[in-house]
Amino acid sequence: MKLTIIPDDGAVYYDNVSYRDLDLFGVPTDVHALQWQETSGWIEFRDSLTQNAPITELPQWALNLIPLWDAAKLLEESIRDKAASQPQPISTGTQTL
């Protein structure tokens, strides 16, 4: 699993699919980003003097955001499916200018 969280953008990237403008509640205010790839990652902090913190487990606040990403994906799929089921106008191929 690949996971990137960018609180300033409200963005969660999960396995290369992103949703933005999400309400990322619970993310510590000093976190600039979280990067995770498979079994490890790091947390980037807003303070440029603080080094990235390596992690081998996702913090609970990051795990709590995955259902939010899932909900955004389901909403997108629902909207796409609804649009696909709507009848499309038939064009006669003629136009008066």
CA-based nearest residue to 17, from 31, 32, 1, 28: 1
CA-based nearest residue to 7, from 16, 27, 19: 27
Q: Considering the domain boundaries, does residue 48 fall inside one?
A: yes
pLDDT in tens, 28-39: 999 999 999 999
Q: Considering the domain boundaries, does residue 90 fall inside one?
A: no
When divided into structural domains, the chain yields a total of: 1
Q: Considering the domain boundaries, does residue 96 fall inside one?
A: no
pLDDT in tens, 22-72: 999 999 999 999 999 999 999 999 998 999 999 999 999 999 999 999 999
Instruction: Provide the domain limits for residue 23.
Output: 2-68
What pTM did the predictor assign? 0.81
DSSP annotation of 93 reads S
